[in-house]
Amino acid sequence: MEKIIDENKQGESLVLEPKKENTRKLFIESYGCAMNFSDSEIVASILTNEGFNTTQNLEEADLVLVNTCSIRDKAEQTVRKRLEKYQSVKRQSNPKMKVGVLGCMAERLKSKFLEEEKIVDLVVGPDAYKDLPNLLAEVDEGRDAINVILSKEETYGDIAPIRLNTNGVTAFVSITRGCDNMCTFCVVPFTRGRERSRDPHSIIEEVNDLWSKGFKEITLLGQNVDSYLWYGGGLKKDFEKASDIQKATSVNFAKLLELCAKAQPKMRIRFSTSNPQDLTMDVIETMAKYNNICNHIHLPVQSGSDRILKEMNRLHTREEYMQLIDNIRRIIPNCAISQDMIVGFPTETEEDFQDTVSLMEYVKYDFGYMFTYSERPGTLAERKMEDDVPEPTKKRRLAEMVELQQRHSGERTKQYLNTVVEVLIEKESKKSKEQWSGRTPQNTVVVFPKEHYNIGDYVNVQTHDCTTATLIGKAIGYSENY
C-alpha cells in the first residue's frame, strides 16, 4: 500500500552523485510527510553548492541534518531518539560532527531545541533553508545558529531540487507551502505558516525537466493542493484585492492540472492532499478529461460525525462530503478514493465513532491512513478541549477501523482481479528478484514476472491473483502510453 507517510521511508538517509570538488560530508535524513522528503531535496541542492557531498555513514559526516515532523507526539519522539544516536556516534567516533534540525519540530520548538538538546548546533524552520549557508558559517565559527522565520512568499520555486535516492521514475513536485485551514487538531499551520502557491511556470519547467531526465510520474504536493491559486504571487486571502488583469490570468488548481497534463501527455500526474471543501467540480472534470491524470483522490475526512467535524473546524458536513463522493463516482467511475482518519478526538462518543464507521461503509475507501488523536501544543483543540477519550478506547476504535479498512481495501483490490490493468514499472518487487513492482493509475500495487520489461515502462498486466492491497499478474504487452 503506497503511503502518504511512508513508514518504510521514515528516516531513510539520502544520497546523491558526488561532486569532485566538494570536500565536506553531509548526512541528511527525513521523517514525516512527502513534503519533508521533497524539502530535503531542496536542502541538498543548496548544500551541494556549499561544498557538501552526501554520505550514508554517520561516522564520517561533517554535518548531520534531520528533517523533522511534529504531526503527532510519536513522530517527535522518534526524532529525539535519533538525536541520542547522533550524540553517541559523536562521542565515540566523530567529534567533528555538527547537528542541525530542520522542518516542523525546528519551527515548533525554536530556540528551546538548542537548550533542551545539547547535541543540536543548528535549528532551521521550513521557510529558512536559503539561509543555510550563512547559518553554517556561524556554526563553523563555533556558535549555535537558528532561523525559524516563516515567510509569506518563499516557495523555493527558483531552486532545482536534487533528487535523492530516486528510482528515476516517480518524483514529487511541490506546488503550495503552508496551510490556512486551521483544523483544530493540527500543528501544520503553526509549523509551516501561511499558504502560498508557487509560480506555475516554474512548476511546468520542473515537470518538463523531469520528463527529459526519464521520469514518468509526478505527484503535485501541498498541504491542500486544491486551494492552489497563482495570480502573480501573494497570499490567497489577498486575491480579492488583485487587479482585473491579475484575476483574468490567474491559475487555479484545475488549470494547473491541465497545464501539467498537456505539457507532458505521457507523464502520469498525481496530487496530494485534497481537502473536501476545496476540491471543486472543475478539478474532477479535468481529471476525467485527461488520461494521464491518475484516477486517485486522497480525500481525508478525519471523522464521519457532523458534531466532531465542526469541533475539528473541518469546513464541510458529512452530507456535503457524501455528495462530493457521489460526484466523483459519477464523473470518474473508476476513481480510487483514500482517507485519513482520526479516532478519539476530544468528546468523541461511541455514536460519533459509529458515524465514522457508517461513512466508511458508504465510501468503501481503497486505502486509508488512520491515527489516534495526539494532542499538539498550541493548537486550538489543546487550548480549548480536554483530551478526554481514554487511551484504551482510542486504541480499540482504531483497531476496529483498521480492520474495516482492510476489508474494504480487499474488496476494492478484488474489483481488478482477472482484468487488464496499466502498470508503470517502478522497482524490483521486495519479495522476488524475478518480479517487477509498479502501480495502476488507481495506486494499487501490482507485481508480475520481469520478462523483457524495464523500470519506467508502461505495461498492460493481466491479473490472476491478489492480496488485500496487491494485484498479482502477468504482463501481456506495452500499454498505449509506452
Binding interface with ligand SAH (CB under 6 A): 4, 71-72, 185-186, 188, 223-224, 273, 300, 302, 340, 342, 371, 373-374, 376
Q: Which is nearer to ligand SAH, 25 or 72 (CB)?
A: 72
Nearest to 367 by CA among 440, 277, 462: 440
Q: Which does 72 bind (CB under 5 to 8 A by kind): ligand SAH, ligand F3S, none?
A: ligand SAH
Q: Least distance to ligand F3S from the beta carbon of 235, Å?
A: 15
Nearest to 257 by CA among 224, 296, 228: 228
Q: At what angle do helices 253-263 and 281-289 cross, to 10 degrees?
A: 10
Q: Least distance to ligand F3S from the beta carbon of 393, Å?
A: 22
Q: Which does 408 bind (CB under 5 to 8 A by kind): ligand F3S, ligand SAH, none?
A: none
Q: Which is nearer to ligand F3S, 104 or 120 (CB)?
A: 104
Q: Which does 342 bind (CB under 5 to 8 A by kind): ligand SAH, ligand F3S, none?
A: ligand SAH
> Do residues 38 and 45 touch, judged by C-beta distance below 8 A?
no
Q: Least distance to ligand F3S from the beta carbon of 385, Å?
A: 16
If binding is defined by CB under 6 A, does position 183 make contact with ligand F3S?
yes
If binding is defined by CB under 6 A, does position 181 make contact with ligand F3S?
yes
> Do residues 226 and 280 touch, judged by C-beta distance below 8 A?
yes
| Cα–Cα distance, 416 to 464 (Å, whole number) | 9
Q: Which residue stretch of 103-111, 178-186, 362-370, 386-394 sits at the interface with ligand F3S (rule: CB under 6 A)?
A: 178-186
If binding is defined by CB under 6 A, does position 69 make contact with ligand F3S?
no
Where does residue 288 rank: exposed (0-12), middle (13-18), buried (19+ CB within 10 A)? middle
SS3 track for 294-350: CCEEECCCECCCHHHHHHCCCCCCHHHHHHHHHHHHHHCCCCEEEEEEEECCCCCCH
> Do residues 332 and 434 touch, judged by C-beta distance below 8 A?
no
Q: Which does 71 bind (CB under 5 to 8 A by kind): ligand SAH, ligand F3S, none?
A: ligand SAH
| Cα–Cα distance, 154 to 177 (Å, whole number) | 8
Where does residue 244 rank: exposed (0-12), middle (13-18), buried (19+ CB within 10 A)? exposed
Q: Which is nearer to ligand F3S, 182 or 281 (CB)?
A: 182
> Do residues 120 and 99 touch, judged by C-beta distance below 8 A?
yes
Q: Which residue stretch of 186-194, 381-389, 393-401, 471-479 sits at the interface with ligand F3S (rule: CB under 6 A)?
A: 186-194
Q: Which is nearer to ligand SAH, 274 or 437 (CB)?
A: 274
Q: Does 183 belong to an annotated binding site?
A: yes
If binding is defined by CB under 6 A, does position 275 make contact with ligand F3S?
yes
Cα–Cα distance list, 424 to 134, 221, 438, 439, 446 (Å): 42, 20, 5, 6, 9
312 Rama sector, left if φ>0, alpha if ψ -120 to 50, beta otherwise: alpha
If binding is defined by CB under 6 A, does position 189 make contact with ligand F3S?
yes
Q: Which three cell numbers stand for residue 9?
A: 521511508
Q: Is 37 helix (H, G, I), strand (E, B) or coil?
A: helix
Q: Does 186 belong to an annotated binding site?
A: yes
Q: Which is nearer to ligand SAH, 136 or 312 (CB)?
A: 312
Q: Which does 189 bind (CB under 5 to 8 A by kind): ligand F3S, ligand SAH, none?
A: ligand F3S
Residues marked as binding for [4Fe-4S] cluster? 33, 69, 104, 179, 183, 186
Interface positions with ligand F3S (CB under 6 A): 179, 181-183, 186, 188-189, 223-224, 275
In the annotated binding site, the residues are 33, 69, 104, 179, 183, 186
